[in-house]
Chain A
Amino acid sequence: MEPQFQPGDRVRIRVNYPARHFRTPGYIQGKIGHVVGVHGAFRNPEALAYGGDGLPKQFLYLVRFPQSHIWNTTPAASDTLYIDIYEPWLESA
């Protein structure tokens, strides 16, 4: 199993508010950032949350965003947000 994305890739966080438990916060959904690294593959916490085994494992990425793309306020241009996001929540952008 290979990660679908690599460091430097431009990605968009999917917009999804399923009725089930999910781990991707609203403030980052729909935003475009860049992959910084791949942490590895881990059991899916959104399935572990219901007592499942969380398999197959999913790749977890560190993704970087300019803070100015996320908040309505105007932070310093260099302010950056890093967030861990699982592969099913990412799409190429």
Chain B
Amino acid sequence: MRHVHDRGGWPDAGPVDRAEHDYAIWEKRTDAMMRIFTRDQHLFRVDELRRAIESIPPRDYETMTYYERWITAIETLLIEKGLLTRAEIDQQVAAMAQP
């Protein structure tokens, strides 16, 4: 069975949105984090990011934006490699969400 990311030839994929748009600061930080993880510290490879993105459940994948997929995959890899736990990430996100 074809996976959710394997889009070539899907008749209902629709046209590509070619419009330029501004990135939110969290999107820029997500990009920067990935560059640090893959280049400066070699924590993981871009191939692993791609694999983790493609492992996102199809229903979630379809509703996520580009960098939402990236940050989800980065979390997956950090947990997989034992660098952070799900609980640690969730606690920090909750703390940062406090007004």
Contact = CB atoms under 8 A, between A and B. Distances in A.
B1 A49 contact: no
5 contacts: A21-B51, A21-B54, A49-B48, A50-B48, A71-B9
Nearest to B46: A48
Interface of B: 1-3, 6, 8-9, 44-45, 47-48, 50-51, 54-55, 81
A27 B1 contact: no
Contact of A27 (B9, B44, B54, B55): B9
Contacts of A71: 9
Contacts of A45: 47
Query: 3 closest A-B pairs (Cβ-Cβ)?
Result: A49-B51, A48-B47, A26-B2
* Interface of B, helix, strand, loop or mixed by DSSP: loop
Given A49-B48, A49-B50, A51-B44, A17 B9 contact: no
A50 B51 contact: yes
Nearest to A22: B3
A62 interface: no
Contacts of B45: 48-49, 51
A63 B81 CA distance: 36
Contacts of A8: none
Contacts of B47: 45, 48-49
Nearest to A51: B48
Contacts of A26: 2, 6, 8-9
